[in-house]
Amino acid sequence: MATHKSAVKRARQTVKRNALNRSRRSSTRALTKAVETAVASKDVTKAKTALRTAESSLARAAGRNTMHWKTAARKTSRLAKRVKAAALSAGK
């Protein structure tokens, strides 16, 4: 257990930051999964709207150092690629 005053404060901050990061990561995963399910069900309009929210969430997570910015960019790119492929196959 932390004994110094500064170490106690750092421990408190770590607990708060862990909770925030876990929440952000979880919501980002849920939004990403929404895009995947929309693509799988071949619902292009739903996939496009889900992509917008997922992209926003990924960018926010990267901006707040929840995840590395390159990881967020890679995930966004792959999702966009899947949505585009689904739109092309659906003919829209």
Whether the predicted pLDDT of 67 surpasses 80: yes
pLDDT of residue 1: 77
Is domain 5-90 annotated with CATH 1.10.10.10?
A: no
**Average pLDDT of 37-58?**
96
Query: What distance in Å separates the CA atoms of residue 52 and residue 87, rounded to the nearest whole number?
Result: 15
How many CB atoms sit inside 10 A of residue 13's CB? Answer: 10
The whole-model pTM stands at 0.85
* 25 close to 66: Cβ distance less than 8 angstroms: yes
pLDDT of residue 90: 84
Whether the predicted pLDDT of 16 surpasses 70: yes
pLDDT of residue 59: 97
Hey, where are the domains in the chain? 5-90
